[in-house]
Amino acid sequence: MDFELLVKLRKSVRKYEVDKKPDRALIEKCLEAARMAPSACNSQPWSFIIVDDEELVQLVAKECTPLVGKINSFAKTAPVIIVQVIDKTNIQASIGSKMTDRDFNYIDSGLSMGYLCLQAAELGLGTCIMGYFHEDKIKKLLDIPKSRRIGLLCTLGYEKGGQTESAKKRKQPEDMIFYNRYMLREDENKRFDFQGE
């Protein structure tokens, strides 16, 4: 698929065909894309647990709603939840993180999930990355040791009613692209008006 089309097609899917589980071969193809993602000093600080056991999916989904309201309640409609574990990084990336005062592990985590989601969309699958969850409870459910952190979770499945493209709410290019120097706008909030979606 043309990359530009793929980027437009990928979106966060929050309604799934409950009884239509993706084949493991397709899921593994998505993980292959994640495996190929770049990472600081090629440290690849990630492992991925594919949760596709129906009962376990429900238990994990229950722990994705830690905040008020209905946030992530859609997770229980997904046939698969991918749980990304942040593994020990290599010494170079760990020194790099300290020197630059930024945690490369979590940057790498987001990148690999982005790759996974794009591959999924190309295969006709829907995804939604989740950053809100009860980490300790999910760690217990999946035997993840205390010494490890969970990076992100991602639901995976077929979008209810079929794969559709939806309008993207995004900043306008002129509000986010600068040549040669950054320009602080007087009305910073204007950047979040999402005009002309």
Ligand X SMILES: Cc1cc2nc3c(=O)[nH]c(=O)nc-3n(C[C@H](O)[C@H](O)[C@H](O)COP(=O)(O)O)c2cc1C
Among the candidate windows 28-36, 83-91, 93-101, 129-137, which touches ligand X by CB under 6 A?
129-137
The label of the residue with tokens 């600068």 reads 178
- Least Å from the CB of residue 99 to ligand X: 24
Instruction: Using the minimum distance from each CB to ligand X, give the nearer residue, 132 or 164.
Output: 132
Q: Which residues from 17-46 bind ligand X, rule CB under 6 A?
A: none
Q: Does 132 engage in binding with ligand X (CB under 6 A)?
A: yes
- Least Å from the CB of residue 95 to ligand X: 25
Q: Does 82 engage in binding with ligand X (CB under 6 A)?
A: no
- Least Å from the CB of residue 60 to ligand X: 13
Instruction: Using the minimum distance from each CB to ligand X, give the nearer residue, 14 or 29.
Output: 14
Q: Does 128 engage in binding with ligand X (CB under 6 A)?
A: yes
Residue from 30, 34, 60, 129 binding ligand X (CB under 6 A)? 129
DSSP string, the chain: --HHHHHHH--B---B-TT-PPPHHHHHHHHHHHHTS--GGG---EEEEEE--HHHHHHHHHTT--SSTTTTGGGGG-SEEEEEEEPPPPHHHHHHHHHHTS-HHHHHHHHHHHHHHHHHHHTT-EEEEE--S-HHHHHHHTT--TT-EEEEEEEEEPBTTS----------GGGT--SSS----SSGGGGGS----
- Least Å from the CB of residue 91 to ligand X: 26
Six-digit token string for 31: 């993980």
Residue from 43, 65, 72, 97 binding ligand X (CB under 6 A)? 72
Residue from 11, 21, 76, 139 binding ligand X (CB under 6 A)? 11
Instruction: Using the minimum distance from each CB to ligand X, give the nearer residue, 90 or 160.
Output: 160
Choose among 102, 93, 85, 90: nearest CA to 146. 85
Residue from 9, 122, 131, 137 binding ligand X (CB under 6 A)? 131
8 A C-beta contact, residue 43 and residue 92: yes
* Binding stretches for ligand X (CB under 6 A): 11-12, 72, 110, 128-132, 152, 168
